[in-house]
Structure 1
């Protein structure tokens, strides 16, 4: 995407091979030069269609756009680096450059041209199958038990006896669903026994988990080297918010447009990167100096995370070739070796996820349209079935019936609690290890969670009322009547199990990953090492917001998450959702919000995302997920609230293998303390020390030093504020509440001392004015 300042300065680049009349070309030049707001090439093409005789007949518009954009990017690179021989997205190529040499690539949620990846919504029945498979594959010995028909017959009975509406509203579980689960588990048992990998939450894309991929000695090795890293870091070197501590943070010392340097005609590696400190050309922003000309959304026009280059040999073993950003290549060489082992373990799972959208996509229940089964044809008559058809008399009868049923239920409950010997269900005698004992816990509702916390902490009674209202509103008598009298005809899974696209052990590669790559071409990985620490004063982690990893700049396709250590904390889950698009993926007419909830568990008639489910993130499990799924880390808390606890996680983000981006092989280290070890720096320092003090000050003031620690923290805060949580489609209300809560608490903590002093010195009226100003500032920061 090329913006206004480039079009103004170089309109002839757009007008290369101009297919229109000369006078129309002049009109276009005048229109471009007269605009004040940002302008994309797509805006220009729309103007051309509306104001000229060209309708692109016989012209490939997309090819023309790419041709013009590539010209802009190449010429802009020549202005920055006349000797450049390297071309990468953002440096010689546009940022939205897609894979080179005609290779297809892994889908992304959105591009500069709009939505890139869509999926059909899954019926609630299929969501329940995903839940059952995920829960069963957490059980010890499931891969053996699933082949014993005596055990699986018991499993089916257990699954059918469960109250699935406790997991999802309107959920049911049928015998065909149970039989499908067993057959699918048999396929996955074969894969697990031979490879250790278990595909879950899989449809058009999928997640992979494993509880035997990472050996205990490797977890211990990472624990030791990360502890050594922590001991060498100054407190000021660790970015944190009081709970999450980032030992390796890609948001510290990233590539910063108009500040970072890039080597135009060579690359560096771990052995010579320190000597390249301070060298290269400053990478100017293609959007120009004016902030208003810079777009928001899928791009970060101010920065980019820097991946390291990783060479994978013919045996499938990984070797980190360029430095890992914020991990010293000499002082922490042992950690490089450890991280290489984790990358090697991640490659087979990454490869399956990368090929899944084309080779392993499947849907268990065909989504080819749905219909109501109207049980009150005399009421609906010739009208379209709708909740508004409910007669007043029927509403009164319905309410009386429900009131009677409620009273009867309460009587039974009272009898049950007063009975000294209540009836207890006794399962048949058998080996307890063979029972499923599934627990259908409903996915946590962050909005209810935070509303209640605010109500308790801040004394906002109205928030408690809203929470109660949200529950009460779910029991609307008219909707309930319509739901009961108009059940949907939802199809079942096929009676004859067939899932040819389920990955098999023969599909799991030990080398030659990602299909088209030549073995000499490196892959790129972004490394992040995080510890979440809880204390008796802060005993609970409230979870993250929905997000994807990185922005379009980073072209991340999949992430590996290894929880390698934890202590004194409850179980933690990673949640996933997708964004079905009704304009291109729904085969039935657009549903109202009530119907969408009944059929797909989607709010707002399909405009919101669909939660697929969750999986454990504990030291026993490794999790791999595609970046077309949004994810969020769930909440967890201390087990023993009298002592601290922690959870430690290594995240590895895989960059699109067919599209290398600017990496640490192109950008010399920017850390001040690394630069002081550079030979050129020390030689220059020796010369400078012999200068008179006044000349030495002039030299140091004029030298463009690498980024110092304090500035790096400011840059990270700016990057975090600008990126926020990368939400490309409509978010749930709890997301907005979380945003507000975090911003509110951050503002409150930063200004607490000043506010306390102001409270002593100012009267009530001035306090009210200050509160109003503070709210205004909060609104402005939130908008930014």
Structure 2
């Protein structure tokens, strides 16, 4: 149902078309036709993926979504919440970001920072893995006094940050470095008050402004993304499998399938048959019968502005009606701007491009992962796709862990597991990981999602294989606002190249010295500030550490299985 609604909300003018019965009837017919399969007799039959009642429910919900969209410009693509918008960032901001990022792209080929292991497909413009916090090396100030003006001047100040004690999933080596963000008073603006790691605040002022403006647009989407952390929408109530009565010519005892009483009668009549073979044959027929007769659970009636939510404080298994956001966007259970007006936010910034060429025409996709490690406390991500050219459809996929324990308490018969795949998308004895769906990543789209989902970029390639193409993103990682971590307000600039440039601007070395002599003098600087060559070696260490933790995290993610009790 969510995938169907996501597809509809990708259509141009969907927010008005969902109120046109002629158009929705056509979309409904197309969806039902797509869900049809051909049976053994060659006749079309409906699958259980989506039903007519589900589609009707979806159109009621889509009309509600259209009212919310009219006031907010945002759409919830998947519960959890994955939120998307093609309108909150106006074209002029998109153009400003393209223009401001261009100087980082238009550098000599030798200076381009291709992401390690990407086969020169992923170009890092600003990446938090370069010059991060390095425990045992980074210098930190006791008070957050680093700002955009003095971040280079204070280079070398502060005490060396000690190496923390080992704790599972917490890095004892590195931490991505967020910038501090303050809210504007009386408007919806924000201000970045400490430097974005690896983005010089003086030579990249237009880019700072562009990032601030897009960040301001992302905050309402983050508020919506983080709202359902303690509740979830139930569209289709399900307490256990239900099966239809026999159709004419499909008797359970005709060899196609039967129930347990029929099995007992047959055993009484033919006690000399091999019991093991009979049991196996019967179980297979019973599974086949259940598959044909399973009653697809259906949604209840949609009530505009109301839905049934499972509330953590409510009695177990009881659905409690609760008003969700009105079409105006309220009531706001989570409003980052109001809740953290005084404290502000901490945000990690990344700018990266994927470049395809006729020689390298395909991007193979990313791996399933969540963002960061526990000491970075990333709670949500915002991705803004600001430039896409000559590539096929690019999509961002999501999956989640489902609550396998609750399934055990549902009513079902012995060895009755077939409904798990239909209802939960999982199998008995296998990981309780559900593929949620994927969202189109197109130019001008802003997507936010919580860091409870695993996500991955799906493969894409050049649309015209004779020409180059690209996809460019601005990624913003929100640190849990309840937790303050080490930020660039505490850590003066660590880059030797920035420090050397500042010394030169202040004429710390005599101007009459040749450039070669100045560079030789700088070469005598040991350990700190950190040279680019050393930073790249440290980045490889950081990446190796994160790959190791990703494997552990993915193992934990897949370790919980559906294991229905046998009565």
Q: TM-score range by the shorter chain?
A: 0.7 to 0.9
What is the aligned partner in structure 2 of residue 362 from structure 1? 233
Offset, 1:193 = 1.6
Q: Cα–Cα, structure 1 residues 218 and 609, in superposed 2: closer, same or farther, change >3 Å?
A: same
Render the CA deviation track for 1:168-223: whole Å, top value 9, x for unaligned: x9633222211110110011001112221011111xx2111111122222212111
- Return the alpha-carbon distance in structure 1 between the equivalents of residues 285 and 212 of structure 2: 56
What is the aligned partner in structure 2 of residue 616 from structure 1? 440
Q: Cα–Cα, structure 1 residues 586 and 548, in superposed 2: closer, same or farther, change >3 Å?
A: farther
Q: Which of residues 306, 323, 343 in structure 1 aligns to 2:215?
A: 343
| 1:469-488 paired onto structure 2 within 5 Å | 478=284, 482=288, 487-488=293-294
What is the aligned partner in structure 1 of residue 536 from structure 2? 713
- Return the alpha-carbon distance in structure 2 between the equivalents of residues 704 and 485 of structure 1: 67
Offset, 1:483 = 5.8
Q: Which of residues 103, 124, 149 in structure 2 aligns to 1:271?
A: 149
Q: Which of residues 238, 241, 248 in structure 1 aligns to 2:126?
A: 248
- Structure 1 SS opposite 2:31: helix
1:212 matched to 2:87? The reply is yes
Q: Which of residues 495, 507, 519 in structure 2 aligns to 1:671?
A: 495
Render the CA deviation track for 1:515-572: whole Å, top value 9, x for unaligned: 7635232211111101101111211111111111111111111111111112111110
What is the aligned partner in structure 2 of residue 492 from structure 1? 298
- Structure 2 SS opposite 1:182: helix
Q: Residues 602 and 608 of structure 1 are in contact (CA less than 8 Å); yes or no, is this contact kept in structure 2?
A: yes
Q: Cα–Cα, structure 1 residues 295 and 175, in superposed 2: closer, same or farther, change >3 Å?
A: same
Q: Residues 134 and 173 of structure 2 are in contact (CA less than 8 Å); yes or no, is this contact kept in structure 1?
A: yes
1:196 matched to 2:68? The reply is no
Q: Which of residues 634, 637, 643 in structure 1 aligns to 2:461?
A: 637
| 1:152-551 paired onto structure 2 within 5 Å | 152-163=24-35, 171-202=48-79, 205-232=80-107, 235-236=110-111, 238-240=113-115, 241=118, 242-287=120-165, 294-296=166-168, 298-314=169-185, 315-358=187-230, 361-371=232-242, 379-382=258-261, 478=284, 482=288, 487-497=293-303, 498-499=306-307, 501-507=323-329, 513-514=335-336, 517-551=339-373
Render the CA deviation track for 1:610-632: whole Å, top value 9, x for unaligned: 01111110104221111111111
What is the aligned partner in structure 2 of residue 59 from structure 1? none
- Return the alpha-carbon distance in structure 1 between the equivalents of residues 223 and 555 of structure 2: 30
Q: Cα–Cα, structure 1 residues 535 and 717, in superposed 2: closer, same or farther, change >3 Å?
A: same
Q: Residues 676 and 682 of structure 1 are in contact (CA less than 8 Å); yes or no, is this contact kept in structure 2?
A: no
Q: Cα–Cα, structure 1 residues 592 and 220, in superposed 2: closer, same or farther, change >3 Å?
A: farther
Count how many residue pairs are aligned between Structure 1 and Structure 2: 504
Q: Residues 241 and 411 of structure 2 are in contact (CA less than 8 Å); yes or no, is this contact kept in structure 1?
A: no
Offset, 1:156 = 2.9
- Return the alpha-carbon distance in structure 2 between the equivalents of residues 593 and 282 of structure 1: 57
Offset, 1:679 = 4.9
- Return the alpha-carbon distance in structure 2 between the equivalents of residues 536 and 562 of structure 1: 26
Render the CA deviation track for 1:68-91: whole Å, top value 9, x for unaligned: xxxxxxxxxxxxxxxxxxxxxxxx
Q: Cα–Cα, structure 1 residues 237 and 620, in superposed 2: closer, same or farther, change >3 Å?
A: closer
Segment of structure 1 superposing worse, 515-524 or 274-283: 515-524
Q: Which has the larger radius of gyration?
A: 1
Question: Where do 5+ consecutive residues of structure 1 fail to align?
Answer: 1-128, 288-293, 399-476, 734-784
What is the aligned partner in structure 2 of residue 6 from structure 1? none
Which of the two has greater helix per residue?
1
- Structure 2 SS opposite 1:300: coil
Q: Cα–Cα, structure 1 residues 138 and 285, in superposed 2: closer, same or farther, change >3 Å?
A: same
Question: Where do 5+ consecutive residues of structure 2 fail to align?
Answer: 39-45, 265-273, 308-321, 559-567
Offset, 1:229 = 1.8
Q: Residues 404 and 432 of structure 2 are in contact (CA less than 8 Å); yes or no, is this contact kept in structure 1?
A: no
Q: Residues 81 and 226 of structure 2 are in contact (CA less than 8 Å); yes or no, is this contact kept in structure 1?
A: no
- Return the alpha-carbon distance in structure 1 between the equivalents of residues 112 and 23 of structure 2: 55
Offset, 1:304 = 0.6
- Return the alpha-carbon distance in structure 1 between the equivalents of residues 208 and 35 of structure 2: 49
Render the CA deviation track for 1:325-350: whole Å, top value 9, x for unaligned: 00001111111011111101111111
Q: Residues 596 and 606 of structure 1 are in contact (CA less than 8 Å); yes or no, is this contact kept in structure 2?
A: no
Which of the two has greater strand per residue?
2
- Structure 2 SS opposite 1:345: helix
- Return the alpha-carbon distance in structure 1 between the equivalents of residues 377 and 483 of structure 2: 8
Q: Cα–Cα, structure 1 residues 328 and 345, in superposed 2: closer, same or farther, change >3 Å?
A: same
TM superposition score normalised by structure 2? 0.80
Q: Residues 671 and 707 of structure 1 are in contact (CA less than 8 Å); yes or no, is this contact kept in structure 2?
A: yes
| 1:682-697 paired onto structure 2 within 5 Å | none
Offset, 1:226 = 1.2
Q: Residues 347 and 477 of structure 2 are in contact (CA less than 8 Å); yes or no, is this contact kept in structure 1?
A: yes
